[in-house]
Amino acid sequence: MKSIRTALTLWLMLPLALVAALVAIETFFHARKVSSDLNDRTLLAASLTILEHVIASNGSLLAEATLDSLTESLGEQFFYHVRGPNGAFVTGYSGFPRPTVETPTLLNPVFYDGEHLGEAVRAVQILRDLTDRELNGITTITTWQRLSQRGELTFHLFARSALRLVLLSLIAGIIVWFAVKEGMRPLAGLQTSIDKRSAFALSPIRQKVPVELSGIVQSMNTLLGRVARSKKNRERFIGDAAHQLRNPIAAIKIQAQSSLESESHEELRAGLQQILAVSDKSALMVNNMLASAKAHAMDAQQFTQFDLNELVNEKAVEMAPLAFDSAQEFSVSSLEKCINVVGDRTLLGEAIGNLVHNAILHNQAGANVSLSTQISSTKNTVDVIVTDDGEEISEDHFQQLTQPFRTDGTDHPGSGLGLSIAKDVARMHQGELFTTPTESGKAIVLRLPFETG
């Protein structure tokens, strides 16, 4: 569809053209009926005139003046045949078309189509009971005429009606064309309003539009709102990232300068170890930042289906060495049946890994950390649960910790993006991330929808 205006005009004109065609067909049959009725009445009037002349002239031929007058009235030459009682020929033309269906009576004439001298004709036959001395008895008068005049009259009546229909359709088409143009003027105004906006103008559209466009404008305003929030979050994220990376880079530079000025091998080695530690922390932050950016750019059309239990077991195997190195007890338990979820397997693995890493990082030696899956109380959702012996976190404090680059203020190394990434991944998968207290500590729950059946 290249043009809404053209499409609307066609949608309006095609039904109108169909109606006009049906009306034209009906008009043709009506014109033919009117022409037939008119000619039949005229032909019957001529038969009665002939009957009167025959009675008055005792059966002689029509006078020349009378014949000319009737021919002029009928519009074309006509023929007649008068037959007296017992079938005796009285006057007129010797051969005449005979009715094949009905027989006339004294009260009802018979109209019929026939053939005379190889041409199609229309005829009427009437009966009269005469008491004249010359014509005493039932007299039959048959009058007929070629159909050419009738066809011309039908065409004339139909042509006039068809011409009116064509003119009416053309005028309606012109009116519709300009009416659609005028009706679509608000679209042009909306386009002009949008064209005048700069790339940074993301405020809602306040222009008044018809009811039919209100849904489109509302959807555009919703999209502009999402873009504005995304832009604001991106700018804040970039600012926070620059702030977070500035300190490690400055520390690496200072430590490198100190190492260059050191005179002993031990000082140089210690400086390089510190540079390595800061570099590892910076690399972790960069990786987390990339994961966060990918979480915000996720497209649901790229999601695939996979077994969540299998992913949880893989992350448990990956994170177990970190727990053992920290002298912590680590356990994993998953459901026996397959839990099919639809999403980004890599990002969900990243989110689960971040939750386990945070639990290990913020607990002391000898603590217990567990990773498990279970069907939640909410219909068609599954929970990935990370529990530890740490202190309980209030919901408000937890929501603050899920903001980018927010930490608990301790000296534990971290980028401050782990919980933020997990929350973004949960939201992108139509899930949620929340905390709940346990008997020995707390649990962080990643709740996801899953496919049943």
Helix axis angle for 148-183 and 185-195, nearest 10°, is 30
Contact 347, 294 (CB under 8 A): yes
DSSP 106: S
95 Rama class: left (phi>0) / alpha (psi -120 to 50) / beta: beta
What tokens appear for 312 in the block? Answer: 């949880």
pLDDT in tens, 36-56: 888 888 888 888 888 777 777
Mean pLDDT of 322-338: 86
The span from the CA of 426 to the CA of 430, in Å, is 6
pTM: 0.47
The span from the CA of 392 to the CA of 361, in Å, is 16
For 46, other C-beta atoms within 10 Å of its C-beta total 22
What tokens appear for 278 in the block? Answer: 């800061």
Per-residue confidence at 371, pLDDT binned at 50, 70, 90? very high
| Range name among 18-22, 80-84, 248-252, 374-378 with the lowest pLDDT average | 248-252
Per-residue confidence at 101, pLDDT binned at 50, 70, 90? confident
Cβ partners under 8 Å of residue 246, min gap 6: none
Mean pLDDT for the chain?
Answer: 79
Residue among 404, 436, 113 at smallest CA distance from 238: 404
The span from the CA of 259 to the CA of 267, in Å, is 7
Cβ partners under 8 Å of residue 18, min gap 6: none
Q: What are the CA-CA distances from residue 258 to residues 17, 116, 250, 268, 283 (Å)? A: 91, 130, 12, 8, 22
Contact 334, 309 (CB under 8 A): yes
For 192, other C-beta atoms within 10 Å of its C-beta total 10
Residue among 12, 225, 23, 40 at smallest CA distance from 124: 40
pLDDT in tens, 394-430: 888 888 877 766 665 555 555 566 788 788 888 888 8
Residue 63, helix vs strand vs coil: coil
